[in-house]
Amino acid sequence: MLVAQDRHDTIYVLDPSSGEVQEYTKRGNRHGGWHVEGWEPLEVIPALAGFATDQYGDVFAVASREKVCVFDHRKVLATAKLPTFVTGLAFAGADIFAARLPVEFVHPKTKTNDPPEMRRSFLVSRLDAEGQTLGESVKPDDVEGGDPFSLALTQAVRIAADQRSENGVVWLADRFRTYRLRRLSRTGSLEAEWHAAGLKGTVAFSGPVPKEVTQNFTKEGAVGYQPIDAKIVVRDLAVRNGLVFALLEPGTVGEMPMIDIVLDATSGPLWRFALHSATSTTYDRLLVTDSDFWLFPVAPGAHPTLVERVPDEVIRQSATASSAAVPR
């Protein structure tokens, strides 16, 4: 299942295999749903997928690997393919921002001597309502290791937009390697960023080859398999009413999963919440309403967890008080 929310805190749950969409209130009560006409089943890997809606829940976009599908409350409006895999989607006004792997796939029937994948210098593609590319932005860091595709996987980013902003402010968070938040302009250019100095997520292109590879891959494919050992830093990102919420992997800044709240892209976290749990549940998706955090587990079929949160007004008041307390 894939989840998204609009500016009114209506939550939408999409079954990508059937095209069924269910609507829920911010408290989790179901109050509607529909089947998308013309739907083609999608097989989804969460790390290579995205689902988002516009401000009012009128138009939706879903991505699975390289495919992007745009639909409304009745039917599929458009489909398109990017030359790479998508790691997340966000609406900014009428445009769709797709977080993407910084690698481009070459068609296997190409007559050139290019390798199956080549490095690509962008992490974000801006699309129109037809799924056509309007522009690309945000260059990945210059790092080395592994083949181009494996390297690109370790540079994946999470993306989110503020649906309460008329201009659709877009933010990025590095999923691996480092704890960094970046704010983009309406056209996708980098406006500001905050970087947690000294906080690194380890990445190694080595390790044992899973038995599934030797059992299911061809001999040539198994030889070409590249093990990756990369520690997740940020699990997910949400933006609401001018505040940025980052769901951190346990071990990033403490033993428990954390939610950082950021007011701007220059000062870093203003608040930090530890998510206490009697179980070892791993959460990989975060939605934020006016009163709660919605945390969605990695495990398929597991129910989300609802956690009451501090109101926006209290967070902003604390920021004002902290600023006033700083000696001039």
- Say yes or no: 195 and 220 in one domain: no
Mean pLDDT over 245-269 rounds to 91
* More confident: 48 or 255: 48
Q: Please report the pLDDT score of residue 323 as a whole number.
A: 59
Same-domain status, 25 and 166: yes
Higher pLDDT, 167 or 74: 74
Q: Give the residue with greater pLDDT, 294 vs 268.
A: 294
What pLDDT does residue 326 have? 46
pLDDT higher than threshold 80 for residue 186: yes
Phi, psi of 221 (to 5 degrees): -65, -40
Q: Are residues 215 and 260 in the same domain?
A: no
Domain count, the chain: 2
What percent of the chain stands above pLDDT 70?
91
User: What's the CATH number where 154 sits?
Assistant: 2.120.10.30
Residues 221 and 241 in one domain: no
Residues 182 and 307 in one domain: yes
Task: Note whether 170 and 239 are same-domain residues.
Answer: yes
Residues 286 and 145 reside in one and the same domain: yes
Residues of the chain above pLDDT 90, percent: 69
User: Within this chain, do residues 175 and 227 fall inside the same structural domain, yes or no?
Assistant: no
DSSP assignment of 100-153: E-SEEEPPTT--S---SEEE-S-SEEEE-TTS-EEEEE-PPP----S-HHHHHH
**Which range, of 61-65, 86-90, 251-255, averages the lowest pLDDT?**
251-255
Three-state DSSP at 192 gives: strand
Least confident residue range of 100-104, 294-298, 315-319: 315-319
Last residue of a domain, one of 209, 231, 253: 231
The residue from 231, 247, 272 where one domain ends is 231
Query: Mean per-residue pLDDT for 160-172?
Result: 88
Claim to verify: residue 184 and residue 280 sit in the same structural domain? yes
Average pLDDT value for residue range 66-77: 98
Per-residue pLDDT, averaged over 242-246, amounts to: 96
CB 60 within 8 A of CB 52: yes
Residues 95 and 225 reside in one and the same domain: no
Nearest CA-CA partner of 141 in 91, 92, 188, 193: 193
* pTM for this predicted structure: 0.91
Range of the domain at 218: 201-231
Q: Are residues 212 and 298 in the same domain?
A: no
Q: What is the Cα–Cα distance from 67 to 63, expressed in whole angstroms?
A: 5
Top mean pLDDT of 159-173, 219-233, 312-326 is at 159-173
| CB atoms inside a 10 Å sphere around CB 155 | 20
Give me the mean pLDDT over the 63-92 stretch: 97
Least confident of 42-51, 58-67, 79-88, 98-107: 98-107
Examine the domain organization and report whether 213 and 300 are in the same domain. Answer: no
